[in-house]
Structure 1
Amino acid sequence: MISAGDFKNGLTIEIDGVVFQILEFQHVKPGKGAAFVRTKLKNVVDGGIVEKTFRPTDKYPQAHIDKKEMQYLYAEGDMYNFMDMETYDQIALTDEAIGDTMKFVKENDMVKMVSYKGNIFSVEPPMFVELEVTETEPGVKGDTATNVTKPATVETGATVNVPIFVNQGDVIQIDTRTGEYLKRV
């Protein structure tokens, strides 16, 4: 059990059977009245964000989140197939369970399966990926104003805004958390 006075960013707790991750917390000691802890919590299953206040003496069980690295094999219809590289067990997850987290992941890339009590609720792609640009318009000569971007389609089918000097066939690095272009490799 963790008391609200011991909350830290990134900690996962269980409140009424729902698992939350603490995004922000603040201990508030008003001039009058009792102290309290103001928090911003993220529901780890559905991604919803909630703001709650707690008394510093409130206690909640810590939720243990498991992360296991697996290899993405292939997509078949609306199912994504993954393999545990230690046991060679394969699992398939639906498109609904994964969301859009796989838009920058190629076949045979390693991803992290995030689960609570054996139920996988999220897939974390690598933070940075290198993908080849398969389609983009050529840059217009003379269009050199700062921060000019154009859309580019990468080999996984996702679209990313890239600087005008990036051409078809270039390999670029992308931050999967934000979907932003980082650099040409």
Structure 2
Amino acid sequence: MAKINGNEIKPGFVLEHDGGLWAAVKVSHVKPGKGGAFAQVEMKNLRDGRKLNERFRSEDKVEQVRLDNKDQQFLYESDGKLIFMDSETFDQTELDADLLGDRRPFLQDGMMATIEYYGDEPLSVRIPQKVVCRIVETEPVVNGQTAAKSFKPAILDNGVRVMVPPFVGQDEDIVVNTELFEYSERA
């Protein structure tokens, strides 16, 4: 682990702070008219999901943690646990479905995901940013309505609601951005 100054913290950094592992979500550098500059950091605990806002001055030292990334294949879900397999060693890893949060519906059988480890402890799961889904319910296509920049609601095969352009119809495959939960393009 490396010690860094408080003003070097960037979003995505994993820090050891107050006996826990925290991911920096938002960082804003503040230079008040009176007093020294500081970094206002919004952090999320990687083990229990708690959030914390903390100020770090440039002279504060913080432990930056490096996580190991492993690409693993999703096999199945059982009793609220997600089962992944390492494609090199064929070892299976069991993780809580809560680690994915609201992105859980986008996880598909056989999908490759990146699991971040701290030592032997799995902390988070990253799925691909773009996933192909099928529209199971939406309003019919209306001719002549494609010129306006309007959207209509659609329900995907995984139960997620997204807004799609009017020219996209039912039973079509689309690409969905899993971070923004929005339509990206036709598949």
Q: TM-score, normalised by structure 1?
A: 0.83
Give the residue type in structure 1 aligned to 2:184.
L
Q: CA deviation at 1:114?
A: 2.2
Where 1:178 maps in the other structure, the secondary structure is coil
Give the residue type in structure 2 aligned to 1:75.
E
C-alpha distance in structure 1 between counterparts of 2:151 and 2:99, whole Å: 36
The sequence identity of aligned pairs, in percent, is: 32
Counterpart for residue 42 of structure 1: 43
| Equivalent pairs, count | 182
Where 1:20 maps in the other structure, the secondary structure is strand
Q: CA deviation at 1:181?
A: 0.6
Gaps of 5+ in 2: none
Q: Which residues of 2 match residues 143-154 of structure 1 at below 5 A?
A: 145-154=148-157
Q: TM-score, normalised by structure 2?
A: 0.82
Change (3 A) 1:139 1:26: same
Counterpart for residue 96 of structure 1: 98
Q: CA deviation at 1:48?
A: 4.3
C-alpha distance in structure 1 between counterparts of 2:181 and 2:145, whole Å: 24
Change (3 A) 1:111 1:94: same
* Aligned-residue CA RMSD (Å): 2.4
Q: CA deviation at 1:32?
A: 4.0
Change (3 A) 1:170 1:6: same
C-alpha distance in structure 2 between counterparts of 1:71 and 1:168, whole Å: 30
After TM superposition, what 4+ stretches of structure 1 lie above 6 angstroms from structure 2?
Answer: none
Give the residue type in structure 2 aligned to 1:114.
E
Counterpart for residue 112 of structure 1: 114
Change (3 A) 1:140 1:119: same
Where 2:39 maps in the other structure, the secondary structure is strand
Change (3 A) 1:96 1:72: same
